[in-house]
Amino acid sequence: YQHIRKHFLKETIDLFDKSTQEKIEAFDASIGLDEKILDAVKKYLKAYNTYLEAQKQNKVTLRYYQILAIYFTEVFFRNRDSKEFEDFAKSALAYWMATGSGKTMIMHINVFQFIEHNKGFKDLEIIITTPGVNLIHQHEREVTPLVEYLNKIHRNKIRFTIDTTSALLNKADDFFDFPDNKKYQRLILVDEAHIGLGTSQKDDEGEFLKLRRRLNIKHSFLFEYSATFHNLDSKLENEYSKSIIYDYNYNLFYRDGYGKDFYFEKINADVLLNGSLDDNLALNLKVIEEKLDVFNKLDYSDIKDLFSATTFPDRPLIAFMGNTVNDKRDEGKKAEADKA
């Protein structure tokens, strides 16, 4: 990421300048972007919107950081065999992007982008994996129709597999076999990859690392998407420094006006002792009532493009938090009853 920023963007470009962001979103190359690469990004976006229209879904526009994520990816694909990219990963890219920044949309557009750079395939295997079952269901709903759409264009040459990381690791060895032939391509898409990077005392290699080692072989390519590529051990940190293609972590996300502001109201022990818990709770509920009242009166009718508004109307949320769901007074009673 830093290499591309340094060598493929003007040093003076300020990505937090609103006018710069607007020019990027207008695909304006005058700020120092490569016009041909920008045209390629527009082409991928148009292809994706054509798919969305075929599914009777609304077309999408991209924020500046999403455009840059795809732009940087295109720079990589066009230059990965050059000398200035020889120290970086050749068959893997990682996106460090905050939750809510649109990683899933980037993933879908990356599929179009990958296919563009691997034309003429006889067989393309797309594998999506993530540690959590809930995310699997979400991706299955969203990507299955995308693959069906692409198969109409590419004459049913695309195979699609989606499962959790642990389930894929339990597959028979022949699942991981792959022909040593450029006509056969494998695309691996991993969401929330950081969850599988952790190791245990018994095992010095996390689940995802095992899966990646077995799947990402010759004629394969890996895209990883995560909001949390930090606190990695030194070996992984060095490895990911060679593959992170775009960094839009939560700090940058928040700086752009996204995310949430919050405060904590702690209920201290003295509140419980003097019997003023009800008053304390009433005060907090009054605060949330005031926030809801403001929220319900918000008027954005004068803003033509709500997505580019400086603030975003999100319904206020109140959360009650504790350190346990069990009553400590009941601890051990079940065990004693069982003994009896």
Average pLDDT, the chain: 84
Same structural domain, 235 and 274: no
Structure tokens that stand for 321 in this block: 């938090």
Question: What is the pTM for the complete model shown?
Answer: 0.78
Q: Which residues form the domain of 248?
A: 1-256
Q: Where is average pLDDT lowest: 27-36, 59-68, 195-204?
A: 195-204
CATH of residue 142's domain is 3.40.50.300
**CA 210 distance to own-chain centroid:** 21
Same structural domain, 165 and 297: no
Has residue 263 been placed in a domain? no
pLDDT digits (tens, 9 = 90+) for 100-141: 999 999 999 999 999 999 999 999 999 999 988 888 999 999
pLDDT(176) > 60: yes
Has residue 311 been placed in a domain? no
Same structural domain, 13 and 140: yes
**Directed axis angle between helix 103-116 and helix 35-54, to 10°?**
110
Same structural domain, 204 and 63: yes
Structure tokens that stand for 5 in this block: 């920023």
- How confident is the model at residue 339, as a pLDDT? 47
Same structural domain, 211 and 164: yes
Same structural domain, 213 and 290: no
pLDDT digits (tens, 9 = 90+) for 237-270: 788 889 999 999 988 988 888 876 665 566 566 5
The domain total for the chain is: 2
Q: Could you tell me where the DSSP H helices lie in the chain?
A: 2-8, 18-25, 35-54, 64-79, 103-116, 133-153, 165-169, 207-215, 234-241, 250-255, 269-273, 277-296, 333-339
- How confident is the model at residue 103, as a pLDDT? 94
Same structural domain, 251 and 273: no
Same structural domain, 6 and 149: yes
Cα dihedral sign, 46-50-52-53: positive
Residue 30: DSSP 8-state = G
Single-letter code of the amino acid located at 311? T
Same structural domain, 212 and 184: yes
Has residue 158 been placed in a domain? yes
Same structural domain, 148 and 56: yes
Has residue 339 been placed in a domain? no
Same structural domain, 230 and 124: yes
Same structural domain, 277 and 299: yes
